[in-house]
Chains A and B, each alone.
Chain A
């Protein structure tokens, strides 16, 4: 496994997303909810060094507010456990944007 794939795997583990085996012909990986196993997206293995962690961190608020992540709510739970203050602020911000987070 390449260093980048390992970076991607570690970055997503933190928010409750598991990297599946490479999909068709390699290069692309399915992202699975670590809570229920449902596919929540995909990612390729040519991100630049450091990019995976930065992208997942930038999406923290989206996971917290339920705008991104599995319908089962696992990523919302994980982000709450990681940083309850940031989680609450994100949910309030997106709720005021017209959502129902």
Chain B
């Protein structure tokens, strides 16, 4: 990393430090009790590839890496990412339950925009034409209606957690720039999920809120499991072989499901049938 870029990130880190409260960032409490996420271990014998910025990439490798980053989406130059963030702002401004919740959402947005800068740098180093490419989020989970604070809490709990699991996998990525930022992105995304969970704990504190959350699980739980894609996706073995992923869709979904099921039960809610309303098995 150049001196200029190190200095830029130092300024951002300093700004983040000033934003710390008893609650924010939520990842602090989660990681203080040990590693909250399960290890994703590759069970396949594969070559130990390692590619850094500015190194020539094999064509298939670059295609797969770009495809993965298109799904990730958190780039400053991706209008659709900014549009999604604007939709979060809209909700924070209009249906926030407390001033504290509103401020937490502001911290969340700031942190996501930090990711926008980090992934922008990665995109420029990989393929300059990618840096300003608009890639709308394709998965329906990013488009589900959010009509209550409970919806928004579930969006963060489930969808940001999906990002944390993928980032966990990137800790072992063969693409060095991605591997370097993986721990930070994982930590932040886990924190965003914990923010959603914090809101859900408040919502579930009374019977009416619990009834609402139970109902809304029917919308968010299947979408969350669907986000990992089809278990028999033909491209997954290529991703694993090139060191861009460690495990298949079924394995990471299973690890995610075990994690969220425990958290759902701790809220006093019933875990929905995992096959109900699923679109991508």
Contact = CB atoms under 8 A, between A and B. Distances in A.
Interface of A: 23-28, 30-31, 38-48, 51, 55, 58-59, 61-62, 67-69, 94, 97-100
Interface of B: 79-80, 82-84, 86-87, 90-91, 94-95, 134, 136-140, 142-148, 151, 206-208, 210-212, 215, 218-219, 279
Nearest to B151: A41
A67 B207 CA distance: 12
Contacts of A46: 136-140, 142-143
Contacts of A28: 83-84, 86-87, 143
B147 A41 contact: yes
8 contacts: A46-B136, A47-B144, A58-B218, A62-B215, A68-B147, A68-B212, A97-B207, A98-B206
Closest 5 CB pairs of A and B: A44-B143, A98-B207, A41-B147, A99-B208, A24-B86
B83 A27 contact: yes
A26 to B, nearest CB: 7
Contact of B90 (A25, A42, A69, A97): A42
A42 B82 CA distance: 15
Nearest to B93: A39
B80 to A, nearest CB: 6
Contacts of A61: 215
A39 B86 CA distance: 14
A69 to B, nearest CB: 7
Given A58-B219, A59-B215, A68-B148, 18 more contacts: A23-B86, A23-B87, A23-B90, A39-B94, A41-B145, A42-B87, A42-B91, A43-B143, A51-B140, A55-B145, A58-B218, A61-B215, A68-B212, A97-B207, A98-B206, A98-B207, A99-B208, A99-B211
B83 A23 contact: yes
A45 B208 contact: no
Given A23-B90, A48-B140, A41 B146 contact: yes
A98 B137 contact: no
B145 A43 contact: yes
B207 A99 contact: yes
A69 B12 CA distance: 39
A26 B208 CA distance: 35
Contacts of B219: 55, 58
A26 B148 contact: no
B55 to A, nearest CB: 34
A42 B146 contact: yes
